[in-house]
Structure 1
Amino acid sequence: MRPKRFEPWLAELLRQSGAVTDVAVRTEAGEQRAPRPGPYGVSLRLRNGATIELGITAESAPGDQYVQTETEVRGEPPARVESVPAIDGAKVKVADVEEWLAALAVNSGSPELRKVSTRYSQEDPPGAIPYGVELRWHSGAKTRVNFQHAYSSGDRPGAAYQCPDII
């Protein structure tokens, strides 16, 4: 799934989840914010007022060219995730939001989604971006959802990709 379709797909999943109070789509808002790994992203507000800004990047399926019409490749969706952390407390672990986001994608039942291949916070050794998920599609494409900023209500975003552990 290309970012142009993924961004509204993710935003709709977030809106329908009932776990967040606000969702803003970067391309709809016309945001031009650094760091800007691409024009795609989604911001979400948790019930405790905390905000998480997600950047969306992608790796094309082998042989895919964005100048051509996208071909949807469908297959068996991944098995549902039954145990999903709650993200509605006064203080929320960013790793729990990451796990919740991965489960939200998996539990969507999308026949295009093959698997969530990684949660950044679980990588050993840790990567440069501490929180995020990588989705792999039946087409062979990959989508990365990077946690660019996470901050509590009343706070301002810190340095890019340097999210606190609890918001």
Structure 2
Amino acid sequence: MRPQRFQDFLIDTVKNTPGTVQVRSLAEAGDSKHPFGVAVSTSDGESRWQIVGQLAEGERHEHEEQPVQGAPAAWTDAVPGDSPEGWLAAAIGRAESPEIARIDRWSVREGDTRQGITVHFHSGAKAYVRKL
């Protein structure tokens, strides 16, 4: 899933997630520095997330995207008091998209304190969602 389509998916998914007050693209939130991303407001405040994509091997931007479907990523809901990263990963996982194969949180990796998510697609593409 390319960044623009993933951003649209993320906005649609997050707006239907309990606890969401508002979600909009970074551009709508006044951020012109990052081409793709979302600003998410919950009762805990706002968090902003940049989206960067990595194409599947052999894929080119001039080619039309070829979505690949499979079993949705297995995911456990975020727990009360979890970080915005955990909340966002759980929202993506609960959507049960057949294009998403796996969701990895960065902050739970040993020695990594960054907040972010890598979304692996069945096509071989990836989306890196980094907290700004």
Give the TM-score, by structure 1 length.
Answer: 0.72
Quote the offset at 1:105 in angstroms. 1.1
Q: CA RMSD in A?
A: 1.8
Shift of 1:85: 2.1
Q: Could you tell me which of 68, 75, 90 is aligned with 2:70? A: 75
**Does structure 1 conserve the Cα–Cα contact (< 8 Å) formed by 2:20 and 2:41?**
yes
Secondary structure at the counterpart of residue 16 of structure 2: helix
Separation in 1 of the partners of 2:87 and 2:10?
13
User: What is the aligned residue count?
Assistant: 132
Q: Which residue of 1 aligns with 2:105?
A: 119
Task: State the partner residue of 1:139.
Answer: 123
Name 1:164's counterpart in structure 2. Answer: none
> After superposition, what is the alpha-carbon deviation per residue over 1:92-142, rounded to whole angstroms, capped at 9, x for unaligned?
x5x5221121121111111100011x2111122226xx1011010000011
Q: Could you report, residue by residue, the CA deviation over 1:14-58 in whole angstroms, capped at 9, with x for unpaired residues?
A: 10003111112124556313xx4xx0010011114x110100011
Match of 1:161 in 2: none
Aligned to 1:21: 21
- Structure 2: runs of 5+ lacking an equivalent: none
Look up the match of 1:66: 61
Are positions 1:85 and 2:72 aligned together?
no
Computing the radius of gyration from Cα coordinates, the structure with the larger value is 1
Taking the aligned partners of 1:125 and 1:14, their CA distance within structure 2 comes to 29
Partner of 1:47: 43
The one-character-per-residue Cα deviations of 1:63-109 (angstroms, maximum 9, x if unpaired) are 1111111001011112242x4324xxxxxx5x522112112111111
Distance 1:30 1:96 in 2: 24
2:55, 2:120 → 1: CA distance?
10
Which piece of structure 1 moves more, 97-106 or 3-12?
A: 97-106
The code of the aligned residue for 1:25 comes to: S
Q: Secondary structure at the match of 1:121?
A: coil
Structure 1: runs of 5 or more not aligned: 87-92, 149-167
TM superposition score normalised by structure 2: 0.90
